[in-house]
A and B are shown apart, each in its own frame.
Chain A
Amino acid sequence: MTISIDPQKTNNESLQPKGWLRYFSFSLDHKVIGIQYLVCGFLFYLIGGTLASAIRIELASPMSDFMPRDVYNQVLTLHGTIMIFLWIVPVVNGAFGNYLIPFYVGARDMAFPRLNAVAFWLIPPSGLMLVASYFVEGAAQAGWTAYPPLSITTPQSGQIIWIMSVLLLGGSSIFGGINFIATIIKLRRPGLKLMRLPMYCWAMLGTSLLVVLSTPVLAGTLILLSFDIIANTGFFNPVLGGNVVVYQHLFWFYSHPAVYIMVLPAFGLVSEILPVHARKPLFGYTTMVFSIMGIVVLGLVVWAHHMFTSGTPPWMRLFFTIATAFIAVPTGIKFFNWVATLWGGKISINSAMLFSCGFIINFVFGGITGVALAQVPFDIHVHDTYFVVAHFHYIVYGGTVFIIFSSIYHWFPKVTGKMLNEKLGILHFAITFIGFNLCFAPQHWLGLNGMPRRVAEYDPQFQFVNQISSLGALLMAISTIPFLINVFLSVRNGKDAGDNPWNALTPEWLTSSPPPVENWEGEAPLVEEPYGYGKEISERK
């Protein structure tokens, strides 16, 4: 059976507002939805960043003098939740996935355009609900993990709003995942072989598998948790015979893969950006594909390494230590492939390239501390200290957020038809990179010396290093300013980009910028070698 696809009909183009207004309306166009994801995510990034600044102001002095302790806990919880569920996951998956995947598979839209729109429009209301809970009756304050019994005993209306919000966001990401799997597997244009797909498609396929397999478990867990809060059942309440470790197992069965849900798309994006700006083919395409799938499989079986101090039996610790250490193998393969891609390339130093290289550097630090944390004795020593905070910020900010910015610099010409200002871009990179490392590198030292995380007050001996860290956070906050100025100026009167300013070979550059509603005039181009740089056109297959 076949269904007919008529973009003019499915998009109701005549009913859609023209110009920039269409980005604020209900649209079924995958490009519009992608931009909606990005802008919405960025607004939440600003909120989450403001909360992060508040945390660092509080921690600039040992006493809790900037805000009361329970407010600190709420700010901490909101910061974590917003950054993960409303900024990184929607942007690296939803925004870039929706914009790029249909181009990469040679389609005119995603497999299920309406489901796609639904997935996006779940995000703003649930995010606003989460933020509003702070002003209504006290936000959730049990951290982004919402561990019981803390989440059951703290004020409850905020926690319930938190659960509802995360459930809606989980639904949004499952719908997105189903859509990506169907688009990549089923909607490829005829003649496009799987092993010729751009790397980002593979990364999104792996990510979507993780989303589909693990997010529902989180949903089920949160439903049980809300029963504990509302109906006074005892699933996770030790007083009523429940078991808090079961919550941790179920929670980390989602939330460990969530790390890869954030990082795998970033791996895919950097694999798209590096070859273009180094003018070299991506090194080791096949190993890259298999390492992604290896990370997917291993990512699903390592969750308990978050729970080495939760009374896990020794055999379990051994298994999860070994499995976690093994993830370093596929990740290392990817890292060396990126370095080999750069090796001997004709590298152009621009903002996109700088952010990508910054990603590689930061990610190595985050990865090495990750292998260290997988070892049980070390983990027990630094558990719940600032070492862990430093480690995962190196992964999620130094890794993922750097790639989000890199991708914005790389694809901005395609989306708007204008170039971003390179000088402001390099300034943005310099402040972000220095600020980021100034903020989080000292936290390794803090953690090794025993400063606990998630508390507003600390021993005065840590004050000086904390102040350096807060100075770095200030720089990171400032770094947003040149970026925003850059975007606003460039949209208004940036240099015209032309269709293909980077001379890239992937299919999205083979159409006009910005692309037409149907993505291509006429038939979609078949790209035989998306990474065939450095060859004459006649040499390409």
Chain B
Amino acid sequence: MTTLDSSKEIQKNNSEVNETHEDFRMFGLITFLIADGMTFAGFFAAYLTYKAVNPLPDGAIYELELPIPTFNTILLLVSSATFHKAGKALLKDKNSESQKWLFFTAFLGIIFLICQLFEYFHLPFGLTDNLFASTFYALTGFHGLHVTLGTLMILIITWQSRIKGGRLTSQNMFPLEAVELYWHFVDGIWVILFIILYLL
């Protein structure tokens, strides 16, 4: 990430107010992601408390099927790697290669969402069936919302890099780096969610 460059450059044209300063948009994004992570932390805390304090009656315990979420975990981890590839390619000014990688990442995101919907339709419980069902849908749904937003943002920056003289070039990597950080964040949250919800 080249944007977290600690060098301070202040230039001043004689009397006119025209200054440049260090780019701290990435700093702002990280702060925002900490805040977003706290929302998930609140959800996780609620879920774990319910698990510890409100045990469900015997008949209401559902065994979650593991294959789909495991496949989804692999999808997201692979997509983190492909996103990284896209960044590397853009840095070397290989725009079309970078676009291919970006597009592939978005494709993996869409597959993830389709798998999640497939899982939803084949689960034996609905949103309001019991407390576990409600927390399950709240957690995975809120994460799915993040994946949806991330996929949309990837498609937007892919489109941006297709425009000649557009906003995404090797000189202006910020949109790609920002979305990449967001995507890694969402992946990381999924791994925690997978462990807590499916494995624990």
Is there an interface contact between A216 and B39, defined as CB atoms closer than 8 Å?
yes
Interface stretch, picked from A227-235, A376-384, A449-457, is A227-235
Segment among B20-28, B63-71, B81-89, B99-107 that sits at the interface with chain A: B20-28
Q: A368 to B109: give the CA distance in the assembly, Å.
A: 55
Q: Considering the complex, give the chain A residue whose CB is closest to the CB of B40.
A: A220
CB-CB under 8 A from A246, the residues of chain B are 46, 49-50, 53
Q: CB-CB contacts of A222-261 with B at 8 A, as 1s and 0s? A: 0110010001111100001111001001100100000000
CB-CB nearest in chain B for A242: B131
| CB nearest to A3 among chain B residues | B23
B96 proximal to A (CB < 8 A): no
Contact of B35 among A4, A190, A215 (CB under 8 A): A215
> For chain B residues 27-65, which have a beta carbon within 8 Å of chain A?
27-28, 31-32, 34-43, 45-46, 49-50, 53-54, 56
Interface mask (A344-365 → B, CB under 8 Å = 1, otherwise 0): 0000000000000000000000
A182-B24 contact given A212-B35, A235-B46, A250-B42, CB 8 Å threshold = yes
Query: Contact at A2–B35, with CB atoms within 8 Å?
Result: no
Q: How far is the CB of A525 from chain B (nearest CB, A)?
A: 15
Interface residue count on the A side (C-beta < 8 Å)? 50
- By a CB distance below 8 angstroms, the chain B residues around A213 are 34-35, 38
| Contact A241-B56, Cβ < 8 Å, known A235-B131, A253-B42 | yes
Which residue of chain B has its CB nearest to the CB of A186?
Answer: B24
CB proximity of B88 to chain A, nearest CB, Å: 18
Whether the Cβ atoms of A1 and B138 lie closer than 8 Å is: no
Please judge, given known A-B contacts A1-B174, A8-B17, A234-B128, whether A243 and B54 are in contact too, CB under 8 Å.
yes
Instruction: Give the contacting residue for A1; candidates B5, B19, B32, B50; CB below 8 A.
Output: B5
Q: Which residues of chain A have C-beta atoms less than 8 A from B50's C-beta?
A: 243, 246
Query: Looking at the complex, which one of B20, B31, B39, B131 makes contact with A234 (CB distance below 8 Å)?
Result: B131
Query: Are A216 and B35 in contact, CB atoms less than 8 angstroms apart?
Result: yes
Check: A178 CB closer than 8 A to any chain B CB. yes
Contact of B127 among A111, A233, A249 (CB under 8 A): A233
Which residues in B have their C-beta under 8 angstroms from that of A83? none
Which of B8-16, B155-163, B188-196 forms part of the interface with chain A? B8-16
Instruction: Please give me the residue from chain A that is nearest to B15 by CB atom.
Output: A522
Q: Which chain B residues lie closer than 8 Å to A186 at the CB level?
A: 22, 24, 27
Contact with B along A249-288 (1 / 0, CB 8 A): 1100100000000000000000000000000000000000
Bound-state Cα–Cα, A108 to B17, Å: 9
A-B contact pairs, 13 of them (CB 8 A): A1-B23, A112-B25, A212-B34, A212-B38, A214-B38, A216-B42, A221-B42, A224-B43, A234-B134, A235-B134, A240-B131, A243-B49, A250-B46
